[in-house]
Amino acid sequence: MIKKLVAVLLLASFLLAGCLFNEQAPDEIKTKVPLGFHSEVDFEDSIFKHITNGGITDDETLPYNIDAITGATTTVEGPAIVTSIPLSVREMENRTEGFYRGVYEDETGPFIYEGLDLYYLLHQMTEGDNGIILTDQAYKVILKDRNRSTISELTLEEIRKAHEDKMPILLAFGIGTLDGTSAAPFVFDAEAEGEYSLGYVKELDNQDGCTRLVYDVENYGNNPEYERFTNVAYIYIAEETEPGFKHTESPVEEFAKSGYMDYIVTFRGSALGYEMNFTVEDLESLVVYDKDGQIKPGGIGYSDHYSLANSTYWYVNEYEGLDLYKMLLYLGMDDAQTMGLADARTTLVNFIAADGMPAQETFSVDTLSYPDGFGFYNKNAGDLNDGDYQSTNADLVETGYPVLLAYGVNNYPYTIHKTDDPYLSGLSNNGGPMRVVFGKTQYHHPNGSHQVQYLKDVIVGQDVLYNTHRYSSDPRANQLAEDPFTIKVFSESQQLLINQQFTVGDLESLIYDETVTSLNKKAAQVKDIYQVDSEKGMVSDFYEG
C-alpha cells in the first residue's frame, strides 16, 4: 500500500529555506540553478533526514527513523584507505556539517536533494574510531551499489573540484520537489517488483535507497551511463595503478618476496595416487595471459567477481586463481564421468590450513565438476538479515562459478598475516597467499564465512601420507618404517647427553600419529625446498621431516 508522509507536505518557504532561485526566471532556468550552502538551511532538523522523521507511529505514516534503515551502512574501503569503515545512515545524518541541499537532474527530471558532500566525508571526517584516513596513494573513488556493481568512478581531483564549484558529489539521503510541497527520505525497494515499501512517496519515487549517489554527471567524471541516480553502499578508494593479482608479476617488491613465492601447497589423496608439492610461484605460472593481459580461455586459470556473504553482511570481490577441478585433472585425477556418478559423489576434496586445522567446507568431485551449482546472488532489498526472507529466482543473477584456488583479490596479491608489510587493511587481503573461494549454492549460503584461508593441503579422496613410510599405502615403504637409527646428542665438552634409538616409523609418528594435536604437528613438521649436492651439481627439491 502506497503511503505518503503527511509531515513533509509543508510550506514551500520552509522546504526551500536558503534557496538561490531567481523567482522571476523561467522554469527551464530555475531547474539549472544550484542551491548552494546557506546559513538559513536547517540541516539539524531537516525533513530530508531519516533520523528527524520519527519511527513507526500508530498509523505507520513515518517509517524512516527505524533501525532497518538508520542502521544500514555505507562502507568506505579499498587499498588506499588506512582502515575499512562502515558508516551507518544514523552516523552520517547525526551531524550538522558537510551537508548540502541543491537541485540535481537525472533522467527522471530535476529534484531537490540533500546529503553529505563526498569531499567532506573523505577529507574532514578523520576523527574518532571511525575516522576516514586516506593513504598517500589514494587517487580515485569507485562508487558501488548494494550489489557491489560499479555505478560511477571519480578521481579525488574531480571530487575536490565539484566541492569547490559548490556543486558537490552527494551521498543523498532525501529528495524533494522543486515547488517545495513535498520531501521525504529514501527507503529501500520492496521485496517484490511492483510493490512499494512503507514510506514510499509516488511523486518523489523515493525508493532505491536509503542513500543515493547524486551529482552533476555532465560536468564531473566520465560516467555517461550513469543516467539515473541509484543507491550507493560502497565507496572504494583506489590507487592510480594496481600491482595485479599474481605475486610473481607484481611490481611491488614486498609481494614478490620468497615468503609468498616459495609458500608450498600440497596435493595428495587416494584419488590422485601420489603427493605433489607446488610453490605459489609454480601455481601462478600455470595461469597464462594473452597479449591483452587477460587469462587465456580453456586453461586452468580463472578470474571473476564472486558474490559472498557471512553472518553480518554481503560483499562482492574479484578473484583470480586456478579452477580447482581443472587443476586436479591436470594432476591426473579421473574426471567425474570416468569415475562414475557413485564414486564422483563419494570422493571428497578436503582442505587443511597452515595451522593443521581442516576446513569446514568440503566438495565432492561431482560438485566440483559442475560449476553451474555455484551462483552469483544479489541481496534482496527486502532481506533485513533476520532470517525470515524467502528467496526467489529473481535473486539469482548467474551460475557457472568454479571453486577457485585464489592467489589474489581485486587486482592485489594475498598476504599471509595482517602484520605483513604489503597488507592493506581497507582491502583485507590477508589469509593467503592461497585461499579457496567459491560461489553461493543457494541464497542464504554463508560462503564468505567458509572461505579456506592459509591453504596448505588439498586432500582428494582418502588421505594417504605418501611422503612417509609408516603411513604410506605402499608396502615397500611400510617395511622401511622399521629401519632403526640412533640419535646422539653431545655437549660442547663432548659429554654424551642423549643416546636413543628410534625407527623411521617412530620418528614419523611424532608428527603424523592421529593423537598428535594440530598445534604440536605444526611445531614439529618441516616441509621446504632445499638445495643438495649431487653428481649433476646443486639440485633443489622438496623435503619433509
Q: Give the tens place of pLDDT for each residue, 384-421.
A: 777 788 888 889 999 999 999 999 999 999 999 999 99
Domain identity same for 229 and 258:
no
Instruction: Show which of 239, 274, 291 is a domain's final residue.
Output: 239
Query: Cis ω on the peptide bond leading into residue 210 (within 30° of 0)?
Result: yes
Contact 319, 437 (CB under 8 A): yes
Q: How far apart are the first and last CA of the chain?
A: 70
Domain identity same for 229 and 331:
no
Domain identity same for 305 and 371:
yes
Residue 85: C-alpha distances to residues 142, 151, 371, 429 (Å): 15, 20, 34, 16
Contact 443, 309 (CB under 8 A): no
Residue pLDDT, tens place only, 92-147: 999 889 999 999 999 999 999 999 999 999 999 988 778 899 999 999 999 999 88
Residue owning grid cell 574531480: 158
Domain identity same for 64 and 164:
yes
In the predicted model, residues of the chain with pLDDT beneath 50 are 1-39
Dist. CA 241–CA 138, nearest whole Å: 10
Pairing type for strands 455-460 and 264-268 reads parallel
Read off the CATH number of the domain in which 106 is found: 3.90.420
* Domain assignment present for 484: yes
Instruction: Show which of 239, 274, 307 is a domain's final residue.
Output: 239
Read off the CATH number of the domain in which 301 is found: 3.90.420.10
Query: Cis ω on the peptide bond leading into residue 110 (within 30° of 0)?
Result: no
What is the 3-class SS of 419-439, one letter each residue?
CCCCCCCCCCCCCCCCEEECC
Domain identity same for 93 and 224:
yes
* Domain assignment present for 347: yes
Q: Which one, of 185, 473, 463, 226, lies nearest residue 348 by Cα?
A: 463
Residues facing residue 238 across a β-bridge: 140
Dist. CA 381–CA 386, nearest whole Å: 13
Domain identity same for 329 and 233:
no
C-alpha cell at 397: 543473477
Residue 176's pLDDT is 94
Domain identity same for 290 and 191:
no
* Domain assignment present for 516: yes
Domain identity same for 184 and 328:
no
Instruction: Show which of 239, 274, 293 is a domain's final residue.
Output: 239
* Domain assignment present for 470: no
* Domain assignment present for 466: no
* Domain assignment present for 9: no
Pairing type for strands 314-323 and 301-309 reads antiparallel
Residue 4's pLDDT is 36
* Domain assignment present for 507: yes
Dist. CA 437–CA 452, nearest whole Å: 7
Dist. CA 399–CA 526, nearest whole Å: 41
Contact 55, 105 (CB under 8 A): no
Contact 77, 237 (CB under 8 A): yes
Residue pLDDT, tens place only, 200-216: 899 999 999 899 999 99
Dist. CA 457–CA 350, nearest whole Å: 8
Angle at 435 between CA 433 and CA 440, to 5 degrees: 155
Domain identity same for 115 and 147:
yes
b/e 399-427 (16+ beta carbons within 10 angstroms → b): eebbbbbbbbbbbbbbbbeeebebbbbbb
Residue 229's pLDDT is 97
C-alpha cell at 330: 591436470
Q: How many CB atoms lie within 10 A of CB 395?
A: 18
Domain identity same for 413 and 317:
yes
Residue 69's pLDDT is 86
Contact 76, 84 (CB under 8 A): yes
Residue 54's pLDDT is 60
Domain identity same for 73 and 173:
yes
Dist. CA 495–CA 85, nearest whole Å: 61
Dist. CA 202–CA 8, nearest whole Å: 13
* Domain assignment present for 177: yes
Residue 232: C-alpha distances to residues 266, 316, 517 (Å): 42, 14, 47
Name the residue range of residue 309's domain: 253-383+391-460
C-alpha cell at 168: 558537490
Residue 55's pLDDT is 54
Residue 192's pLDDT is 64
Domain identity same for 233 and 314:
no
Contact 310, 303 (CB under 8 A): no
Residue 29's pLDDT is 30
Q: How many CB atoms lie within 10 A of CB 326?
A: 19
Contacts of 157 (CB under 8 A, 6+ apart): none
Number of domains in the chain: 3
Dist. CA 451–CA 376, nearest whole Å: 16
